[in-house]
């Protein structure tokens, strides 16, 4: 009920403007959402992660909205990080990003910095220092990061919108409902995965199928075979969040709440997964000629960059290759010699951005290959490119030959 929301004296003071108009505006947003979703109170958060960064998506109106909020005195009061921008802010010129776009993108980032948000520019903040612990409440907006924080780390966050995550950052609170509650974290269905998972692409295809079926409900997964070490669960969560709105999943024996017995599966419907062909059909297109290979959605980790360098092994590429990652991860990869190895083959290790939010049309690409289910799901609509989807080995082969080998 709208009138059931309880707020503390401090929260009321913020709401009445005692801490300035910027904080008042933020609290109004948080309280409005709390009432819409039937929350009984607000919960203090340990961190925020804000989306809505690329000027491609935000536009001039979004930039002015942020600048106005900053002029009102809004400032984040908890550690807050930022999603990828629309360009690599250091290598944009040599990569061919339009100068006007980059100037507009810098203005967006400056507006966020004025609001107290750190310009981390990554969808994997948990790889670069914003790593929550079990049970902490958060206000995160990036869908793949939400799934990872909830599922793999055992923190608690709903899938915030960009403005609501920013509002939560400014007041240090969010509405307590949904995945902040024990009840909201209980699974609704069990998926018995009997087919083998051999690659990160297999895990992504599985996630696409589960996300389509579950929408915003919580699945519980059991695997008949142990997952290979290279299969990072961030791939699974990103795919579920892309095709549905899954913010939390449990994996038998792997994720913390499943290991600790904090969830129950008794009496739940069971879905048997015998194959992944349907997931591949949803993601894999038909082009045979490839001119761009994209790795790193969500942003690549240091081991993933190392695997790419090993796969190339000094051979020359016939396509563009973008390995996208966070700036600190790129710096670590450069220090380890991995960036130089990839560049020696003709590839690029790109920081700050992601092909989902970059102005890809400016580069003239026609067909992309990727091992990311999230990238394959979004790219046709967001960038207009045809897509081939498969394993890292298939993507490397496409980068070396310019052709897709089924």
3-state helix, strand, coil in the chain (%, to 5): 45, 15, 40
Indicate the domain borders of the chain.
2-180, 186-281, 284-401
Strand partners, 50: 82
Contacts of residue 100, defined as CB under 8 A and 6 or more positions apart, other chains included, come to none
Q: CATH for 284-401, among 3.20.20.80, 3.50.50.60, 3.30.499.10, 3.20.20.70?
A: 3.30.499.10
Q: Is 163 within 8 Å of 52 (Cβ atoms)? A: yes
Alpha-carbon span 266 to 110, nearest angstrom:
50
Q: Do domains 2-180 and 284-401 have the same CATH topology?
A: yes
- In this predicted structure, what is the pLDDT of residue 31? 98
| Long-range pairs, 196-199, Cβ under 8 A, ≥24 | 196/224, 196/225, 197/223, 197/225, 197/227, 197/228, 197/231, 198/228, 198/391, 199/228, 199/230, 199/231, 199/371, 199/391, 199/392, 199/393
Task: Return the residue matching tokens 């996630």.
Answer: 207
- In this predicted structure, what is the pLDDT of residue 314? 87
- In this predicted structure, what is the pLDDT of residue 1? 38
- In this predicted structure, what is the pLDDT of residue 3? 55
- In this predicted structure, what is the pLDDT of residue 383? 87
Structure tokens at 193: 């995965």
Strand partners, 118: 81
Tens digit of each residue's pLDDT, the chain (406 residues)? 345 899 999 999 999 999 999 999 999 999 999 999 999 999 999 999 999 999 999 999 999 999 999 999 999 999 999 999 999 999 999 999 999 999 999 999 999 999 999 999 999 999 999 999 999 999 999 999 999 999 999 999 999 999 999 999 999 999 999 999 999 999 999 999 999 999 999 999 999 999 999 999 999 999 999 999 878 999 999 999 999 999 999 999 999 999 999 999 999 999 999 999 999 999 999 999 999 999 999 999 999 999 999 999 889 999 999 999 999 999 999 999 999 999 999 999 999 999 999 999 889 999 999 999 999 999 998 888 999 999 999 999 999 999 999 8
- In this predicted structure, what is the pLDDT of residue 2? 43
Q: CATH for 2-180, among 1.10.3210, 3.30.499, 1.10.10, 3.40.50?
A: 3.30.499
Task: Return the residue matching tokens 């990238």.
Answer: 375
């Amino acid at each position: 009920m709208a009138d059931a929301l309880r707020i503390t004296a401090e929260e009321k003071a913020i709401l009445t403007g005692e801490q300035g108009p910027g904080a008042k505006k933020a609290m109004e947003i948080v309280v409005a959402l709390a009432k819409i979703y039937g929350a009984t109170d607000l919960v203090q958060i340990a961190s925020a992660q804000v989306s809505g960064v690329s000027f491609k998506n935000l536009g001039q109106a979004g930039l002015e909205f942020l600048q106005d909020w900053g002029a009102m005195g809004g400032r984040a009061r908890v550690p807050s990080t930022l999603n990828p921008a629309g360009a690599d802010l250091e290598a944009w010129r040599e990569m061919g990003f339009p100068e006007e776009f980059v100037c507009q993108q810098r203005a967006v980032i400056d507006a966020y910095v004025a609001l107290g948000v750190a310009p981390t520019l990554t969808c994997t903040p948990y790889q670069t220092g914003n790593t929550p612990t079990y049970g902490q409440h958060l206000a995160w907006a990036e869908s793949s990061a939400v799934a990872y924080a909830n599922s793999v780390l055992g923190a608690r966050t709903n899938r915030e919108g960009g403005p609501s995550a920013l509002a939560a950052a400014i007041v240090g609170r969010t509405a307590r409902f949904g995945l902040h509650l024990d009840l909201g974290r209980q699974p609704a269905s069990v998926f018995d995965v009997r087919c083998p998972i051999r690659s990160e692409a297999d895990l992504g295809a599985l996630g696409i199928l589960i996300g389509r079926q579950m929408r915003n409900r919580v699945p519980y997964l059991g695997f008949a075979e142990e997952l290979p070490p290279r299969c990072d669960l961030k791939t699974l969560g990103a795919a579920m969040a892309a095709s549905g709105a899954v913010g939390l999943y449990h994996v038998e024996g792997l994720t913390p709440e499943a290991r600790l017995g904090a969830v129950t599966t008794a009496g739940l419907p069971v879905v048997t997964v015998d194959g992944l062909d349907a997931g591949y059909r949803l993601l894999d297109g038909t082009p045979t000629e490839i001119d761009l290979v994209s790795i790193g959605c969500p942003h690549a980790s240091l081991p993933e960059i190392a695997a790419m360098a090993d796969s190339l092994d000094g051979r020359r590429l016939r396509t563009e290759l973008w390995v996208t990652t966070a700036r600190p991860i790129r710096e670590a990869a450069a220090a380890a010699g991995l960036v130089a190895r990839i560049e020696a083959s003709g590839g690029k290790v790109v920081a700050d951005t992601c092909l989902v939010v970059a102005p890809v049309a400016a580069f003239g690409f026609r067909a992309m290959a990727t091992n990311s289910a999230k990238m394959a799901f979004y790219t046709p609509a967001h960038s207009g490119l045809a897509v081939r989807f498969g394993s890292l080995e298939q993507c490397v082969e496409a980068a070396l030959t310019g052709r897709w080998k089924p």
